[in-house]
Structure 1
């Protein structure tokens, strides 16, 4: 074991504060990573405040991790000291079920082990995440980050990036397709970038007139204000695929009506309350409404390699570790373009 420092929540109503804890030593298949940057995901806030009613305290959030390999185990063949690497939402799974064998560990039938607030499969307790100076992860759940990418701006790719990439790839989005992206936040802005890079005609839907220019800058061919009934009516039946990245309550039926026959709408935003679905919106045009959860390790590496080739990263705002509570407050107001990233050089040496 070695001593590590992170930032932790100790209760649902407690601010995150410096926290000293022990990390496991580097085992034969492990990679020890000195963390350089960690993105701030909305799920970090949910977990820190126990809004999903499953948080185990103390909780060290963070699952958009980028850093350098500091040590490798004796059986590690994929990485060497000095490599730039990443860790996303998972650090283990059963590795035996059909989903794991297919490289879709996020759908592990036993349940994947979260990078934080997860129960370690080897009986080593609860996992602590990337709001910390270092992490030790099995090499099978470590990703290679292309040297061509800004490592800070690459960190959100490990969650926001793969969450939008996975459905776009699974439903084979590409040239000749008209694709809608609903919402321009941490997820939506990556959806716009990826859909454009994959060759689709991209239309952004937003409720905010102030996001029109940004949507076009990020790669949308067109921006539609979804509160404009006439503008929405003109888009009916024109889309092959729609990716909905909105996590707030909203009318998904308005978007289902925009799909062509046999079109697909995929939900990646996770509203707190169930969303009513009009069955006739699906029946009349043989439309599909689906969901998608992050992505497996092979497709996450595929996504990172694609980003390296096309120079795609997240739009970020860098913060100090001691600014995390302010970042959470601003995130609740959607006051970030489009992802906060913590500079781990600002992490205190001791708790």
Structure 2
């Protein structure tokens, strides 16, 4: 038998999230049972809950930036013991047999990684429910060790925002002297600034908004370029080795491709979907520039990221909220009214009246 659990769920795309009773699957021999302490709030939680992508399965318990404490382990588990602090990110399983899985790229699993919520367990067909809840059961291969020294609540968004920014920086070999631009200063953008700076890059924030310079410099940027200022944009033409575009909605990327140096790459990490206007290929062809995408990271790389952050004292800038404030938090996210990530203190779920 599984365990009776409480969480917060969306039951449709246009109703508030509310208390929801459901059952977690019974642990298997390779499973880790986790009491959830904190859960970050991601833009994808908002989009998924409100069915903006058209793939919602209700009732949906969002949440994939999970930090908690191990409460039990299966008989085959050797990496974790009761009491360990651990993390769970955007996926809880994959086929484990295809080429991407074999290369540590479980997020690109040929048959699709099993998402932490709004998906189906590939072994027993049960629904996956996320971290806006009391506890979760996950295969030990998809559980991360939280390094000592990290503030657990501020580290929760590292499980999505952190690895999403870290993976392209590592893949495109950012290091001392690399010239990196970050487009957009939100949850992803502020992490990209911190991580790129820690890797030794010369870091620039590109933003449409005037007045973000002091925040950007405090987060690790060396300079700020306002994209609506033609003179400032002209000064960085053909300059950057890598541009990390974190903007989570449809926008024109053509002004940013021209800031790439020869052989430079613009990497999309924020927006899922079509680009309008279309990408102009001429600036790409003339300087062998590229436009690419990157999605979270594999389990080994995510552990590497957590260890890197612990070694460099990097966590997310957060605002801690109660679970009862989640709908207001979603509205504030849409208004860009958060610096820079909401995190739910799951102890607040205990304040719900038993029903």
Q: TM-score, normalised by structure 2?
A: 0.97
Structure 2 residue 312 is the aligned partner of structure 1 residue 310: yes
Structure 1 contact 35–134 (Cα < 8 Å) conserved: yes
How far residue 14 of structure 1 moved from its aligned partner, in angstroms, is 1.4
- 1:337 aligns with 339
Residues 93-135 of structure 1, C-alpha deviations (whole Å, 9 max, x = no match): 0000000000100000000000000111012421000000000
Give ranges in structure 1 of 5+ residues lacking alignment: none
CA distance in 2 between partners of 1:189 and 1:40 (Å): 15
- 1:293 aligns with 295
Structure 2 contact 36–133 (Cα < 8 Å) conserved: yes
Structure 2 residue 194 is the aligned partner of structure 1 residue 164: no
Residues 242-283 of structure 1, C-alpha deviations (whole Å, 9 max, x = no match): 111011232211111011111111110115542411000100
CA distance in 2 between partners of 1:49 and 1:210 (Å): 31
- The DSSP-based 3-state class of the residue aligned with 1:100 is helix
Alignment of 1:311-326 (within 5 A): 311-326=313-328
- The DSSP-based 3-state class of the residue aligned with 2:212 is helix
- The DSSP-based 3-state class of the residue aligned with 1:148 is coil
- 1:26 aligns with 27
Give ranges in structure 2 of 5+ residues lacking alignment: none
Answer with 18-27 or 336-345: which moved more.
18-27
How far residue 177 of structure 1 moved from its aligned partner, in angstroms, is 1.2
Structure 1 contact 164–268 (Cα < 8 Å) conserved: yes
- The DSSP-based 3-state class of the residue aligned with 2:127 is coil
Structure 2 residue 214 is the aligned partner of structure 1 residue 213: yes
Structure 2 residue 40 is the aligned partner of structure 1 residue 71: no
- 1:150 aligns with 151
- 1:93 aligns with 94
Alignment of 1:226-245 (within 5 A): 226-245=227-246
- 1:11 aligns with 12
- The DSSP-based 3-state class of the residue aligned with 1:7 is strand
- The DSSP-based 3-state class of the residue aligned with 1:220 is coil
CA distance in 1 between partners of 2:14 and 2:232 (Å): 43
Structure 2 contact 88–142 (Cα < 8 Å) conserved: yes
- 1:178 aligns with 179
Q: CA RMSD of the aligned region, Å?
A: 1.0
State the aligned residue count: 351
Structure 2 contact 25–126 (Cα < 8 Å) conserved: no
CA distance in 1 between partners of 2:275 and 2:225 (Å): 25
How far residue 212 of structure 1 moved from its aligned partner, in angstroms, is 1.4
CA distance in 2 between partners of 1:150 and 1:210 (Å): 29
Structure 1 contact 247–272 (Cα < 8 Å) conserved: no
Structure 2 contact 251–275 (Cα < 8 Å) conserved: no
How far residue 146 of structure 1 moved from its aligned partner, in angstroms, is 0.9
CA distance in 1 between partners of 2:133 and 2:220 (Å): 34
CA distance in 1 between partners of 2:97 and 2:91 (Å): 16
CA distance in 2 between partners of 1:327 and 1:207 (Å): 23
CA distance in 1 between partners of 2:308 and 2:13 (Å): 38
- The DSSP-based 3-state class of the residue aligned with 2:52 is coil
